[in-house]
Amino acid sequence: MQSICEYCNSKKEHLYLMTLPCGYVVCYDHLKPSIQHVKDPFSSFNRSRTETKCLVCPDHYFNIEKCLEMAKNKSKFMEIGFIEHLKLVKEKIKSIENYIEDTDFFLDKYLAPVVNMIDLRREQLKKETNKKIDDAYFKTINEIDNIRSNFKQKAKSIDNKQFEELAKYEKNNGVKKTAEYFNDKLKELKSFEKDSIESLNKMIENFKTISFEYSASGLDSSKRYFRQASLDNEEYILGQKNRKIRERSVDVENHINFCFGKINYQSIN
């Protein structure tokens, strides 16, 4: 169903026409500049005292928040908000479709070079301490496997059927829908977006900066064994100084400071 904007005479779908306090009907787009300061129009209004000059009869001003809360406008405004956010979520899903469809290709692109670096580091350090290197290596590879597993599990958690159900709604034509109806729909949509889409998007961005950082390793080698002489006592025999020298052996323990390296990656729960 279409009607005409009484400000620009354009034909618009009834949903996108708002009634002003003075009774005139104008396009929703004309009011957009006046409602930009409302941070979250879907939950609660920012109660500022900003007055907007009437577009049709410029001899009076009106409060844009109160105008949108009018019975004729509120449900429309909530439905428009839902539609706009639905479009945003659809675009986000489309942007990650390639990553979801072939997770192995995406994961190999970013993880394979890291695994290669880990393998190289393994061979470099094996001559120093084989067992410690192997232990650290397999632990690090296990981290890679966990990262891979977490991503694949998160990708599989996106339930297209659930989204299709969320995307279903009855337009505000004919049967009038309450603002609460679209508010509930929007909450469900945002919950789906936060739990499924946003966390996966963060994972995707984090993969783009994943790296493997070498850590310093080496042997702090002091002398393992040395003889230390100390003056124990002195005595004079026949006018001659006779020194008794006590010798002691000191074992110095080797300290091996070793660290394999670390994966630079911010995990997402």
pLDDT in tens, 68-102: 899 999 999 999 989 999 999 999 998 888 888 88
Phi, psi of 129 (to 5 degrees): -150, 95
Q: Return the pLDDT at 89.
A: 92
Question: Are 46 and 68 in contact, with CB atoms under 8 Å apart?
Answer: no
- Residues 74, 179 contacting (CB under 8 angstroms): yes
Tokens at residue 206, please?
A: 């984090």
Tens-digit pLDDT profile for residues 129-178? 677 777 878 888 998 999 899 888 888 877 777 788 878 876 655 556 67
Q: Which of 21-25, 215-219, 241-245 has the lowest mean pLDDT?
A: 241-245
SS3 content of the chain, % helix, strand, coil (to 5): 50, 20, 30
Q: Given this model, what pLDDT does residue 172 score?
A: 58
Tell me the whole-structure pTM to 2 decimals: 0.52
